[in-house]
Structure 1
């Protein structure tokens, strides 16, 4: 009997952000434009990553709009 165990996770990190005009539709907090980095790891070894921009809330952290 063979048993495979794979550990795959994905993390999102904010690299830079600057405030913009606007408010969050969910909590009413301020908005900011952020440079995001998504990293997918397999058994703690990163094998895929991408950088993208997003408008996110500074209070609750939700992504309001993304630009891939």
Structure 2
């Protein structure tokens, strides 16, 4: 019997941020626009990258809105 075990993970990184006018709808603190990048790895080999923009809360870290 042969058993294969594959490891798949996904990491999100914030590359740059800028303050934006507005408040978080969850904690009522300030929000910011962030350039995000997502990398999906399969057996430690990166196979998919995606860069996108998101409005995130500066206090609780919730993603309020995402743009492609």
Q: TM-score, normalised by structure 2?
A: 0.96
Q: How many residues align?
A: 68
Tell me the residue number matched to 1:14. 14
User: Can you list the C-alpha shifts for 1:13-48, whole angstroms capped at 9, x where unaligned?
Assistant: 000000000000111111000000000011111110
Q: Unpaired runs of 5+ in structure 2?
A: none
RMSD (Å) for aligned C-alpha atoms:
0.6
Runs of 4+ in 1 over 2 A off after TM superposition: none
Corresponding position: 1:46 with 2:49: no
TM-score for the superposition, normalised by structure 1: 0.96
What are the ranges of 5 or more consecutive residues in structure 1 without an aligned counterpart? none
